[in-house]
Amino acid sequence: MTQPKKKVLILCTGNSARSQMAEGLLREMAGDRVDVASAGTRPVPLNPGAVAAMAEIGIDISGHRSKSVEEFLGREFDFVITVCDRARESCPVFPGRARKFHHDFEDPAASPADGRLAVFRKVRDEIRDWLSTVFLPELPQTPAPGSGS
């Protein structure tokens, strides 16, 4: 029997870089186990550096758009992940049983122009590692075909 997908919302301030990269990574890493979206407390356009850093590892987020957290108010989520301290401080309360996860990742968009892509890469890799070690173990595992589960 297939488990229902877990609903995950990833929040940041601008929804232009960190939360967008985390959304793309989680969708790739968790596959059919999640229905994932991202939003910002003060959204600004998708950052080209995030798109470039993700494209380097074969994940296309170029079609993503920045969204306001207000688009998701009133919806229930199984998990709410904040990827910056500012978003955690202003995160609205979501109804239901949402478990909260938090890690304050550096804002690559705020780094100096020369070398900015390297910062995007570093933050992308830090988010991937954090999702692998902290968040993914909290998701139900999908039974292997023929396991009888």
Q: 3: helix, coil or strand?
A: coil
Q: What amino acid positions are annotated as catalytic residues?
A: 12, 84, 91
Query: For residues 26 and 36, is the Cβ–Cβ distance under 8 A?
Result: yes
CA distances from 52 to 63, 129, 149 (A): 12, 19, 40
Query: For residues 22 and 10, is the Cβ–Cβ distance under 8 A?
Result: yes
Q: How many CA atoms lie within 13 A of 57 on its CB side?
A: 16
Q: How many CA atoms lie within 13 A of 38 on its CB side?
A: 30
